[in-house]
Amino acid sequence: MLVENPEGRNLVKIGVVGGTGYTGVELIRLLALHPKVELSLITSRGEAGTRVDNLFPNLRGAVDLHFEEPDLARLKACDLVFFATPNGIAMTQVPELLDAGVRVIDLAADFRLKSAETWAKWYGQPHACPHLLEEAVYGLPEINREAIRNSRLVANPGCYPTAVQLGLAPLLVNHLIDPARVIADVKSGVSGAGRGANVQTLLCETTESFKAYGVSGHRHHPEIRQGLEVMGGNPVGLTFVPHLVPMVRGIEATLYVEPCESFDPQAVFEAHYSEEPFVDVMPAGSLPETRTVKTTNLCRLALHRQPDSNHLIIVSVIDNLVKGAAGQAIQNMNLMLGFAEGEGLTAIAPLP
């Protein structure tokens, strides 16, 4: 199924199911720049027959494809397929693709949770293929790199879970904090709500305003808790509150934990992430900004302590559409296909 490009190199054939949302178009943009893959087909039921660059003019000159109706026969001709679809879609098609030898990365939540009962509780429908939940590898490379390399099905993490878990991993894996008391105060840009028409995300509804949502329970809560408990090997008492802020891209997570022993957090974080290409531990006392990771696959972290307090404060920033979605998916693809992990992911954030 490899195709040869004009320069004589073999390219891996890639399919994208659901290419019309913000995550989908970001995935297409990054794949179009990737030197070792060929975008073979992009599906959309609502836009079938429309040129991709007519819907997204930023892709003019980079993507010469039309949206197609989803067709499993066509998808089976790909080497790897991404699902950038609403929750509940991928799980109805993935088993047949896996049986055909196609590798899959799901950017929705269909395979993130290991419990079918928990999934049904939070997503309001029974899981279509619960037998695949145990096999699916949670695609956080900084935690599961080797498992991702050998996987045929990767569950790409959510945006909030990525920022929170990367901010807490060094502390949990080294058992340095009290896992019963973890607070994640997290803010997201409006693109995290998706591209669909919604009064709550109109310009006049979000500009010059700031609000919490999902305070009584957000779908990312069980995903975050599951990941943290795997890292630390103990139950985690998690308080997670997301907020909507009037910007397009970006997630900022302010995390509060209580150390259970004396240690140098800066040294712990720098040692833990010293070999990680997409985690930047900033100098002590820094204040990471979302604009410094815009369009990049980076997570930037900084550590703080306040006078007369035992709390450790971790600040974590990512671009919700890149490290929180499409970029991390391509990082996972690179691992699954044996490419350099950073292939196609070398962007530097623009300023201002």
List 159, 204, 260, 299, catalytic entry? 159
For the stretch 40-60, what's the b/e string if a residue is b when 16 or more beta carbons lie within 10 angstroms of its beta carbon? bbbbbeebeeeebbeebeebe
* Residue found by looking up tokens 């896996």 in the block: 98
Q: Are 75 and 42 in contact (CB under 8 A)?
A: no
In degrees and rounded to multiples of 5, residue 312 shows phi and psi of -105, 135
Strand partners, 15: 41, 81
Q: Give the DSSP H/E element, type plus range, for residue 280.
A: strand 279-281
Length of the chain: 352
Rg (CA), the chain: 20
112 by DSSP, 3-state: which? coil
DSSP code of residue 228:
H
* Distance from C-alpha of 273 to C-alpha of 11, rounded to nearest angstrom: 32
293 by DSSP, 3-state: which? helix
Active site residue 159: yes
Q: Which amino acid is at 73?
A: A
Residues in CB range of 122: below 8 A, 6 or more apart: 113, 219, 222
* Cis-peptide into 352, omega within 30 deg: yes
| Alpha-helix runs per DSSP H in the chain | 22-32, 52-55, 72-75, 94-99, 116-123, 141-149, 159-173, 203-206, 220-232, 265-272, 327-337
* Distance from C-alpha of 286 to C-alpha of 266, rounded to nearest angstrom: 11
- Residues with a catalytic annotation lie at 159
